[in-house]
Amino acid sequence: MAQEQAALDALDLAVLTALHEHPRAGVLELSRVTRVARATLQSRLRRLEQLGVITGYGPDVDLAAAGFPVQAFVTLEIAQGALDEVTRDLEGIPGVLEAHATTGSGDVLCRVAASSHEALQETLLELSRSPAVVRSTSVVALSVVVPPRVLSLLTATQPGGASRAPAYRDPGA
């Protein structure tokens, strides 16, 4: 089922930026930062949540600080038609942070984390125990060059059109 694609305007981007820069702020503070009425801000937040643009408000966790400094990317080649089976197997391994079905020589790309190289090896062995996995290749991450981000993409593709909120004034203008 295809997800409805949101057309983000300048106010939507201002709300997302304010949430990113002030993640613990309440609605009233965010309305002050974005310079729009609280009801307008609440309406935008609700819309962005309903569209699936905002997927949560949880904390960003530094895995190394939490005791999991070793990360790796693992490419899995799986048996034909075994995506559902491998998905169930991956969901049962706590060290698998995320997994994506991919094109190319591999079928699934996983990001895994572990407390040590020995723990990473155990996670890799656990991955290979899945009957659906034919072959795996892993690459250990040495450092983060570009941290996870989305605002740079959203703002770079934003057309210069007006906001749907008539009272919104770009603070930078």
> Is residue 169 a part of any domain in this protein?
no
Q: Is residue 79 domain-shared with residue 37, that is, in the same domain? A: no
C-alpha–C-alpha distance, residues 123 and 90, integer Å? 10
Q: Is residue 101 domain-shared with residue 131, that is, in the same domain? A: yes
pLDDT at position 171 is 57
pLDDT at position 101 is 98
pLDDT at position 58 is 86
Query: Structure pTM?
Result: 0.81
pLDDT at position 86 is 97
Question: Along the 173 residues of the chain, how does pLDDT read in single tens digits?
Answer: 345 677 899 999 999 999 999 999 999 999 999 999 999 999 999 999 999 999 998 888 999 999 999 999 999 999 999 999 999 999 999 999 999 999 998 999 999 999 999 999 999 999 999 999 999 999 999 999 999 999 999 988 876 544 555 555 565 65
pLDDT at position 6 is 72
Q: Is residue 40 domain-shared with residue 76, that is, in the same domain? A: no
> Is residue 4 a part of any domain in this protein?
no
Token output for 97: 């942070």
> Is residue 147 a part of any domain in this protein?
no
Token output for 72: 């790796």
Q: Residue 77 is part of which domain span?
A: 70-141
C-alpha–C-alpha distance, residues 124 and 131, integer Å? 14
> Is residue 42 a part of any domain in this protein?
yes
pLDDT at position 2 is 43
Q: Is residue 110 domain-shared with residue 54, that is, in the same domain? A: no
C-alpha–C-alpha distance, residues 116 and 140, integer Å? 12
pLDDT at position 158 is 73
